[in-house]
Structure formats: C-alpha cells, structure tokens
Amino acid sequence: MLQVKFIAHVDRAKCSGCKLCEKVCLTDTIKVVNKVAVVDDDCLGCTRCVDICWHDEAVVMVPRPTPRYVGTDVNEVDAEQVRGLCAQAHRLPGELVCVCANTSAGEIAAAIIKGARSFKELSFATGVLQGCQEFCVPPIQRMLKVKGVDVTKAGGFLKYDQTLSMWDIPKAAQERFEYHFAEDLALATKSREGGE
C-alpha cells in the first residue's frame, strides 16, 4: 500500500505549456489546458513532472492536507487465483515487487484479477510504478502478459515489451553458452514455488 503524502503543484507564472510533464505522467493526472499545466487531485506524487520541468521549475511537490492511501486488499479475491497468477509470473504472492510502494506480487495479482489491465490502472489500484521502476516493471509486465495484455500497449510511457528473465532465454541460446542454465532455472523455479 502506498501512502501519498505529496501532490504536484504548478506555478502558473512559470509554466510554458510545453507538455513535457503531461508526457511523463503515467497516471495522466497532469494535463496542459490553455497552455498551462493543471494537476488532478488523483496525482500520486511520483515527481516525474518535477524532474522533467527542471528548466522552467514550474512544477513542485507540496504536502497534501491529508495523506491518501492507495492499495488493493488481497483478501477481496480468491487466494488460489492470486497464487496461480503469481506462479505463472514466477513470483510468490508475499514477494515484495515494488519497494517504493511496498507492494507485493499478491497485491498486484489481486488488482489484475479485479480487472486492472494497464500500467495506469495498476498504479491507481496498488501505487506501483510511482517511484524508481527499477524492480517492479519486469514482474508487472510478466503478470499482465499472463492475463493476455499486450504490454507495449498497456499505456503510459512504458511502450517496450517485457524485460526478459531467465525463464525467457531460448533453448538455442542456453546451449550456445557455457553456463548452468538448467540448474539455475530449476533452483529459481523451486524457490518461486516455496521450496528451499
């Protein structure tokens, strides 16, 4: 669950209406209207708009009057479905996937089971993708693909296909290099199934 303490704020006098902030906002909560950026109250405070507006310095983060909480209750969906989706994506339900939002694979799976089919929908449902995106993007892509989502069209600025993992390395490539793929895959698969 993500605790959103800040919201983007636009200094209208400094805003040039360049739309860079709009282009990097994964949740579409900042839009340029009449050549000035306007922030929706649903903003999850990721700071991408602040980072991209370094030249004009028109966007800053300000504290929300009351923090907002974003998350999906895993107990609202069938536990077997959560485990099944996580297993197909090579994740354990309790495994932390998004360290920035403190979101587990199970919570992401629950949001997908409840109908989330895009990065934006998952962000609003769980708070994921609002921080570094170092760790959560590949597992989220994998989980969406399990449900048949074309991740190159799942919205936002993440328009590339799934980052490959060891489960995706073609057999020909495995055989061409002197590496212990079979052993590593067996060990990783066992650990993802809760083995030791």
Complete DSSP assignment for the chain? -EEEEEEEEE-TTT-----HHHHH-TT--EEEETTEEEE-TT-----HHHHHTTTT--EEEEEEEEEEEE---GGGS-HHHHHHHHHHTT--TTSEEETTTTEEHHHHHHHHHTT--SHHHHHHHH-TTSS--SSSHHHHHHHHHHTT--GGGSSTT--SPPPP-GGGS-HHHHHHS-S-HHHHHHHHHHHHTT--
Domain boundary among 52, 69, 86: 69
Domain boundary among 69, 88, 109: 69
AA identity, residue 45: G
**Whether residue 178 is found in the same domain as residue 111:** no
Number of domains in the chain: 3
**Whether residue 112 is found in the same domain as residue 50:** no
CATH number reported for the structural domain that contains residue 60 in this entry: 3.30.70.20
pLDDT tens for the chain, 196 residues long, are 889 999 999 999 999 999 999 999 989 999 999 999 999 999 999 999 999 998 889 999 999 999 999 999 999 999 999 999 999 999 999 999 999 899 999 999 999 999 999 999 999 999 998 888 888 888 999 999 999 999 888 876 667 777 778 888 888 888 888 778 888 888 888 887 655 4
Residue 194, token pair as written in the block: 């809760």
**Whether residue 123 is found in the same domain as residue 49:** no
**Whether residue 115 is found in the same domain as residue 98:** yes
**Whether residue 20 is found in the same domain as residue 88:** no
**Whether residue 19 is found in the same domain as residue 82:** no
**Whether residue 141 is found in the same domain as residue 178:** no
Residue 125, domain extent: 74-162
**Whether residue 110 is found in the same domain as residue 125:** yes
**Whether residue 143 is found in the same domain as residue 195:** no
**Whether residue 156 is found in the same domain as residue 84:** yes
**Whether residue 185 is found in the same domain as residue 122:** no
pTM of the model: 0.84
